[in-house]
Structure 1
Amino acid sequence: MDKLIEILSLEQFENACKEKSVFLFTADWCPDCVFIKPFIGEIVEANKDYTFYMINRDNFIDLCKDLDVLGIPSFVAFDNGEVIGRFVSKLRKSREEIQAFIDTLG
């Protein structure tokens, strides 16, 4: 099964933004982030048009501020360096809600 690629540097993030990518902003301490772990791999597997990345918000606070990611878990999608979609809030997200967001990107 495919999985999320962890972003470890701003340079890696900037390069990933150039492709069709979806970023999951998360944190280890976030209960709503833990909630999506059991099914996020299936979402990644079902949406092969995009590369999925995980960003630990605690390691990239300034990036989160720049992207107005104030709540987690949140998703921001890019294509050719441009934001093509945002699913950003502090609310728990279901498998159906995440897939519906990805469906709007195409």
Structure 2
Amino acid sequence: MRTLTDDTFTEGVRAGAVLVEFTASWCPPCRMIEPVLAELDRELDAVDFAKIDTDDNPRTARDLGVLGMPTLQLYRDGELVAQLVGARPKAQLMAWLEPHL
């Protein structure tokens, strides 16, 4: 899973399908979903997984209206195509992703 910053976000979601987790170190649900996202990252070649820490990179979260963590945003060639707020089990994340793959 790549790490994005305020400075690298736009370029980081520009090509292909990219799932971005908006996270924070103090967020228990974020810590819960990390292993699930790591597993999906290993299993899904069609999606590039990335994360951005909202405490260290508040501009991107603010500009995109991200208020809760974790927020998952799926981009296709730089365009936001889906968003999900909150931790979910693997099966629910797969069901959410499948229509966009």
Identity %: 23
4+ residue runs over 6 A deviation: none
TM-score, scaled relative to structure 2: 0.87
Q: 1:18 aligns with which of 14, 20, 38?
A: 14
Higher relative contact order (CA 8 A, sep 6+): 2
Farther off after superposition, 73-82 or 95-104: 95-104
More strand by share: 2
How far apart, CA to CA, are the structure 1 residues paired with 2:91 and 2:98? Answer: 10
TM-score, scaled relative to structure 1: 0.83
Q: Could you say what secondary structure the match of 1:86 adopts? A: strand
RMSD: 1.5
**Structure 1 gap ranges (5+):** none
Pairs aligned (count) = 100
**Structure 2 gap ranges (5+):** none
